[in-house]
Structure 1
Amino acid sequence: MERGSAPRLFGTNGIRGVPNRDLTVEFAQSIGKSIGTFFRAREVAMGRDTRLSGQMIMGAVQSGLNSTGTDTVDLGILPTPALQYYCKNTGMPGVMITASHNPPQYNGIKCIDSDGSELAREKEREIEVIHHSGQFHSADWNSVGRNRWDSTAEELYVRGVASRVSVDRIRASAFRVALDTGNGASYRTSPELLSRYGASVTTLNSNPDGLFTARPSEPVEANLKALISTVRSGGYDLGVAHDGDADRCVFVDERGQFVDGDRSLALIVRHTARNGDVVVTPVSTSDAIEEVCSEVGARVVRTVVGAPVVIRTMIETGARVGGEENGGVIFGPHQYCRDGAMTMSLVLDLMARTGRKLSELLKEVPEYHMFKASVERKKPWEEVLPLVLKYAEGRKVDRTDGVKVFHENGWVLLRPSGTEAIIRIYAQSRDRGYARELGEEYREFLEGAQLR
């Protein structure tokens, strides 16, 4: 079968859909067979987040893997980066059942390579080709795979994260932290880390709830009112929030002010990148990253949106740090993946090392304002794209990913989501009002353009 003829299944971050509608048991089992045929590994590690459909989808993928003669190692509910750390340390490939920040009705299948990084796009393509061809490896009856349980992954991960910071220094600071795990996969690991750091911790939504009853999974300001209110009640040094699979982390400073992931990324880069380093980030990140890197003598490399591409570029260029504007920081010395607990630990270590509050540290970061929105994608992106280019005629345009249009006092990026049927809008300016105005202008344009 020709590689180019196989329709795409993997989006920006794995395969996603609504169980029993897009993500049926039969489909998940077929993907399991495809993964097993592709890897031809003796064992594959598996984990899941707290979603209600997790066991069902995981069981289907497991049976598909078993049919190819592949054993699976069930690590239970744990953050995606914890599964990735397990894969890195055991040399096993892995499969994570998660839809990350998406609403609770979604779930997904994400493949992890044996080095712990998200599977490269070309390897995902191979799995798609196998799935569409139906040419699966089928083991003899006495060689089918079996499943075993391993309860050590969480402790391995927590120790690994803690080993990258000065635990004694953080403990000496005796931080007070409010932590919102959003009923997701970090409900055990992040509280445990903070306990080892000697922090006094108030937890919010730190119980597994696959319906995300307390708040939507995505850790944006509108969804973190309870955390912000808790920090504002006084006496806290930091507020921390994760998404459903805890590969992201955002902060609330000691005054109760929400900190956009774009700014926390720039802050970490400023104190981590060194002269001559490469810092990798997608085109959706603000220009603050360029200014920060210029200060320390590092070079910025821009990529398309999506952690797998950022990670591959980091590996290829030897970058120590990179990440996305959504709270997804990638710290290479630990592992090449977005890691919410590592991000939390880096910020606590920075606060302990400098003896400064987060709000004070953020004064070092150039202030750019980001406005984010989305519109339902009613037409194929290929039909919308010419209309966008015509609307942007006469302006500088970057086509790295979607269309990034530069205006005199800011820019706007329009790109089709790789996980949902929407077009994402990112607008940036030093002026908060102008960023919103620019984003709203293009939202109105997109809504009208799709009616033509």
Structure 2
Amino acid sequence: MDTLKFGTSGLRGLVSDLVGGPSFAYALAFLRHVAASDKAGAPTVVYLGRDLRGSSPEILADCAAAAEVAGFTAIDCGPLPTPALAFRSLREGCPAIMVTGSHIPDDRNGLKFYGRDGEITKADEAGILSAFHAMGVVERPLQAPSIAEDTTGLDEYEQRYLDCFLPDALAGMRIGVYQHSSVARDLLMRLLKRLGAQPTALARSDRFIPVDTEAHRPEDIASIAEWTSAGAFDAIVSTDGDADRPLMADERGTLLRGDLIGLLTARHLGLTTIVTPVTSSASIEQAGIAERVERTRVGSPFVIAGMAAAAADGAERIAGFEANGGFLLYSDVVLEGATLAALPTRDAVLPIIAVLAEARERGKKLSELVSELGAGHAAAHRLANIPGERSAAFLARLSGEEDFRREFFAPVGTVTAVDTIDGVRTLLADGSSIHFRASGNAPELRCYVEAATEADAARLLAWGLERAGDEVA
């Protein structure tokens, strides 16, 4: 179990460490925490979902066994997007467990937990860990668990968008759907077609592909460039493995940054209060779309807490998103006479549809929509397989040792300001910035940069990864 890491986003680790007792034990701790903390009367049903990894069905069975021991009825919702499972959980007021490793490699997997009110909080995290340590050793039953099947959650999630976007919202648009192993690959094809687009399936895979919407794989970049080279598509769309983060490329094959996808989505939906982490670019404040912007640490729990705080402070028309493009809808939105209910968890399908609809409504190409934002240039990538203690030591020196920081950045500029809300974000005299932070759910050190030109951003990112790599090697 050495690789297992538990936090507010759930549990992740190597499949070899997760299958069987560990996934059973953490799922049992979660359900016991739910039963003990629910003041409205403990729910008796838990919804289970999974992505398309080869290990996910076995881990889902571990969760079903935990449900049986905890006195819950387990409902298998089948393979579906994480936001679809969250939507069912919120509608029914019951907890849910999603078996997914999101974008991490196939030899790893994880669990995402939802209470009856949505994503678990930091307080829930502490409660689950307390329940986990209090129960001692509990053996997973050997017999197959009892589990019912109900796959209508995916249908409800699909209908959510069909109710609020007109049948011709995407009429005539030629959309390539990079299917890979996304759990939303068939859903996207159906939705796009029913909204008037002409979708084309691309690169469907029988094995799991770890698509990361922040740190794009070179092979994905090359494939998208090839698909768009003949001018056959107005856009390429996709998601990560569990479809809570969108991937979009314009008609030229240029990938859209996640924060700009979120910004365009907010504009299309008329949302004027934006809550977003420090890793989103300065364009959020500069574009003139938001009347109010709140910055948070990285992670959907912090964005959700920020949205709740904004609402308590009187803000309206609230949304959140991250630099990975995952969009969190905090306020109900009325579209075409129908109400698009709030769904405060990361979603990939809503921003994909909204940005495409924005382009068609304005008669613009995606590249033109992005250009109009005047967002400058940003880039991000990661150093993989960096132990957390090495990242922590490096970040501590950057934030706390002025001489080290000055010498470290001297080859690229003079430091004028430092932000340590999450990692270390450094502003340089020429207006560019470099931001290092340790991933919260993987042994990675991430680097985010902003610069005046695309070439400068690429140069700064390459330098930052190489220089940081030397420090944590």
| TM tier relative to shorter chain | 0.7 to 0.9
Structure 2: distance between partners of 1:27 and 1:300: 40
Counterpart Cα distance in 1 of 2:290 and 2:27: 45
Corresponding residue SS for 1:258: coil
Q: Identity of counterpart residues, as a percentage?
A: 27
CA distance in 1, matches of 2:115, 2:221: 33
Aligned partner of 2:310 among 292, 312, 317: 317
> What corresponds to 1:80 in structure 2?
82
Query: Does the 8 A contact of 2:31 with 2:70 survive in 1?
Result: yes
2:416/2:427 contact within 8 Å kept:
yes
**Secondary structure class of the residue paired with 2:351:** helix
Rate the CA distance shift 1:120–1:430 in 2: closer, same or farther, 3 A: same
Distance in 1 between residues matched to 2:347 and 2:192, nearest whole Å: 15
- Of 104-113 and 179-188, deviating more is 179-188
C-alpha distance in 2 between matches for 1:206 and 1:86: 27
Note if 1:306 corresponds to 2:302.
no
Amino acid at match of 2:155: E
Name the CA distance, whole Å, in 1 between partners of 2:231 and 2:461. Answer: 34
d(CA) in 1 for partners of 2:217 and 2:62? 36
Hey, what does 2:154 align to over in structure 1? 154
Do the aligned partners of residues 238 and 247 (structure 1) sit closer, same or farther apart at CA in structure 2, a change above 3 Å counting?
Answer: same
- 1:404 aligned partner: 425
Match of 2:27 among 5, 10, 32: 32
Q: Partners of 2:445 and 2:100 in 1: how far apart? A: 22
Distance 1:11 1:439, change over 3 A: farther
Deviations 1:170-210 (A, max 9, x none): 15x32221111322211221111112112211012346x34
Cα distance per residue 1:272-298 (max 9 Å; x no partner): 455xx4210001011111112xx2451
Measured in 1, the distance between the counterparts of 2:29 and 2:98 equals 15
**Would the aligned equivalents of 2:390 and 2:472 in 1 still touch at CA under 8 Å?**
no
Rounded Cα–Cα distance in structure 2 between residues aligned with 1:137 and 1:422: 32
1:397-423 Cα shifts (integer Å, max 9, x gaps):
111111111112211111111111121
Q: Equivalent residue of 2:148, what SS?
A: strand
Per the alignment, do residues 10 and 368 of structure 1 end up closer, same or farther by CA in structure 2, a change over 3 Å counting?
farther
SS in 2 for 1:241: strand
Distance 2:244 2:229 in 1: 26
**C-alpha contact (below 8 Å) 1:130/1:136 kept by paired residues:** no
Partner of 2:314 in structure 1? none
Match of 1:121 in 2: 122
2:375 is the alignment partner of 1:367: yes
**What residue in structure 2 maps to residue 377 of structure 1?**
386
Q: Does 1:423 align with 2:445?
A: yes
Question: Which portions of structure 1, spanning 4 or more consecutive aligned residues, are displaced by more than 4 angstroms?
Answer: 135-138
Moved more, 175-184 or 95-104: 175-184
Moved more, 38-47 or 332-341: 332-341
Distance 1:342 1:108, change over 3 A: same
Distance 1:63 1:331 in 2: 33
Deviation at 1:449, TM superposition (A): 2.7
Q: For residues 199-228 of structure 1, what are the alpha-carbon distances to aligned partners after superposition, in whole Å with 9 as ceiling and x for unaligned?
A: 211012346x3433xxx4224263243333
Measure the CA separation in 2 of the matches of 1:235 and 1:286: 31
Q: Which among 230, 234, 256 is matched to residue 231 of structure 2?
A: 234
Written as runs of structure 1 = structure 2, the 5 A alignment for 1:140-289 is 146-165=146-165, 167-170=166-169, 173-206=171-204, 209-212=206-209, 216-219=210-213, 220=216, 222=218, 223-273=220-270, 277-289=272-284
* Distance change in 2, residues 1:426/1:296 (3 Å): closer
Which structure 2 segments of 5+ residues have no match? 36-42, 312-316, 333-340, 407-414
TM-score with structure 2 setting the length: 0.84
Cα distance change on mapping 1:43 and 1:210 into 2, 3 Å: farther
Change (3 A) 1:436 1:257: closer
Q: State the secondary structure of the residue aligned to 1:39.
A: helix
The alpha-carbon deviation at position 339 of structure 1 amounts to 1.1
In 2, Cα distance between the equivalents of 1:340 and 1:136? 38
The answer on 1:386 being equivalent to 2:388 is no
CA contact (8 A) 1:304 1:401 kept: yes
How big is the shift at 1:8?
9.4
Q: Distance in 1 between matches of 2:92 and 2:256?
A: 36
Residue 338 of structure 2 corresponds to none
SS of corresponding position for 2:201 = strand
**TM-score, with length taken from structure 1:** 0.88
Question: Given residue 470 of structure 2, which amino acid in structure 1 is its aligned partner?
Answer: G
Match of 1:110?
A: 112
SS at match of 1:10: strand
Task: Look up the match of 1:4.
Answer: none
TM-superposition CA deviations, 1:107-145 (whole Å, max 9, x none):
100001223x3211221221012112226999xxxxx98
* CA 437–226 in structure 1, closer or farther in 2 if over 3 Å, else same: closer
Partner of 1:448: 470
Tell me whether 1:134 sits opposite 2:143 in the alignment: no
Aligned length: 428
C-alpha separation between the residues in 2 aligned to 1:226 and 1:443?
24
